[in-house]
């Protein structure tokens, strides 16, 4: 997940590749992301995703790409980089951002500042949940996650979190959504997914969220290839 000082959030890049793996040009993608961070260190911010983890991207292609095109040492260097990425962010004290979702272990936002880095992603606990959990309209409280890791959480968990921590919105990624973004629980949470035609297997649009100075949220949409001909990216507004 990427945040710029212009107020634009995106979960992935429009080429359909995640920074950590899943795509033929993952190396170019992560190098571009890091180059922006170096060039604009105070204007460009990155959050870690669940695939910025050695045990995951070793399986899903990034390890193989590094090994095929360069060497394993390069993959290990990127792993060291991923282990230093922050897990969550709070925009203007009111918009909570993380890749996956919430955690039953998150009682105080100050816990996030106490996470020691570099850090490999554990199999359970706070960091794991922030990267792996998912919202679920059909449950109350916490539920079992079909991914086999972390939890799902209901609308009551979202409402309680926002009230307790005086936040207005949760922004997360982690799931392909058809229109590039999807709201949950009466616009209390939004899922962003910025890669259209994800992995060449989905007919989804890509979306990015723009936050104005008065915290009005709008969405820039990049249509999938099947709908792109003759179209320009669209923009929709939503106040939070």
Q: Which residues are annotated as catalytic?
A: 51
Euclidean distance between CA atoms 181 and 90, whole angstroms: 19
Question: Is the separation of the CB atoms in 23 and 199 below 8 Å?
Answer: yes
Nearest residue to 223 via CA among 201, 197, 187, 193: 197
Neighbours of 107 (CB within 10 A): 11
**Residue 102: exposure state from Cβ atoms within 10 A (0-12, 13-18, ≥19):** buried
Question: Rounded to 10 degrees, what is the CA torsion of 146, 151, 20, 228?
Answer: 70
Neighbours of 131 (CB within 10 A): 28
Euclidean distance between CA atoms 53 and 10, whole angstroms: 19
């Amino acid at each position: 997940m990427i945040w710029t000082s212009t107020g634009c959030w995106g979960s992935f890049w429009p080429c359909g590749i995640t920074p950590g793996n899943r795509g033929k040009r993952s190396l170019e993608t992560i190098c571009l992301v890091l180059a922006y961070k170096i060039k604009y260190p105070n204007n460009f911010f990155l959050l870690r995703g669940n695939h910025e983890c050695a045990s995951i991207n070793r399986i899903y292609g990034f390890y193989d790409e590094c090994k095929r095109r360069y060497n394993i040492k390069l993959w290990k260097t990127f792993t060291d980089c991923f282990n230093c990425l922050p897990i969550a962010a709070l925009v203007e004290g009111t918009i909570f951002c993380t890749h996956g979702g919430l955690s039953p272990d998150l009682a105080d936002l100050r816990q996030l500042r106490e996470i020691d880095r570099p850090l490999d992603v554990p199999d359970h606990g706070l960091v794991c949940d922030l990267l792996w959990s998912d919202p679920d309209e059909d449950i109350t409280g916490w539920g079992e996650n079909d991914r086999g890791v972390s939890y799902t959480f209901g609308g009551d968990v979202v409402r309680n979190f926002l009230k307790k921590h005086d936040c207005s919105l949760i922004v997360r990624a982690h799931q392909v959504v058809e229109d590039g973004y999807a709201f949950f629980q009466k616009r209390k949470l939004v899922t962003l997914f910025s890669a259209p035609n994800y992995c060449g297997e989905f007919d989804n649009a890509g979306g990015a969220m723009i936050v104005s100075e008065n915290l009005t949220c709008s969405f820039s949409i990049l249509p999938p290839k099947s709908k792109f001909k003759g179209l320009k990216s669209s923009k929709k507004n939503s106040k939070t």
